[in-house]
Amino acid sequence: MNEFIVEVTAQNAQQVLIEESMKRPVVVDFWADWCEPCKQLMPVLEKLANEYAGQFLLAKVNADSEQMLAAQLGVRSLPTVLVLKEGQPVDGFAGAQPEKQIREMLDKYLPKPWDLKLAQGQQLVAEGKLTEALPVLRQAYTESSERADIAKQLAAVLLELNRVQEAETVLGKILLADQDSDYQQLMSQLELKQKAAESPEIKALQEALAQNPQDSEAAYKLAIQYSQTHRHQEALDLLLDVLRRDMNFADGAAKQAYLDIVKSLGAGDPLASQYQRKLMTLLY
């Protein structure tokens, strides 16, 4: 026995089958020593219980010693497996079943991987660990095919980290039907941060670059300004243009600035990976 598997008796049945099933699915396995199919099925269920690591509780019931409990749950043959949620049977089967079919049954009642990552990310946000929460939420967003509620949580963290351009991209993909009050609030925060980032220095450099797009000095200075206001992607795009024209611009300062921004994003960050590849392509 471990934290994922428990033996059920008359003494703990209420706690295991009712109270625990209010928190997560409980898979009840009715078995007996004389039952050969039970001996085939039990190792499969135990393997899954350990693999899913607490997403469900495997509750093993010896039908010979707990005959009243077996009768109460309508068990007529062994092995019988029941899935309990909120104290009620919602699924099950009789007889040994292949692992694939058992997994398919469990998947109907267990949280999806992206929901687990969302919960993990939300916990990190609650603890103030936004930098750690970001990759977790980004993974949940990707795995869930960019589900709207996860998109809003991801955008909120990006805004808190002043990664405004990335937040704008995430919010821009949210469909009209999902643009609720939370979405409107995030858009307001986005607009405020965008306005705050437009300093007089940035505006002057933008105008200079608009008049002469080949002005590497203006592009380099604007990239530095962008990086200081966490507009990383815009900064990297400008520096990449400068490096295309002159890899050693400003005695290598442009290249070093580019590398510093990529490094500041953190290992494994998709934006960092994208711009590392772009620089490698330029170099080789």
Q: Any idea which residues carry the catalytic annotation?
A: 35, 38
Dihedral class, residue 223 (left if φ above 0, else alpha if ψ from -120 to 50, else beta)? alpha
Parallel, antiparallel or unpaired: strands 80-85 and 57-62:
unpaired
Residue 276 · residue 268 · CB < 8 Å: no
Closest by CA position to 82, among listed 146, 21, 23 = 21
- SS3 call for 122: helix
- CA 97 vs. chain centroid, Å, equals 32
**Strand 88-94 relative to strand 80-85, pairing:** antiparallel
Q: CB within 8 A of 171, min separation 6: which ones?
A: 151, 152, 155, 183, 186, 187, 190
CA nearest to 172, candidates 152, 142, 145: 152
Task: Break the chain down into helix, strand, coil percent, rounded to 5.
Answer: 65, 10, 25
CA 138 to CA 154: how far, in whole Å?
7
Chain centroid to Cα 11, Å, comes to 39
Distances in Å between the alpha carbon of 187 and those of 37, 96, 177, 178, 194? Answer: 58, 54, 15, 13, 10
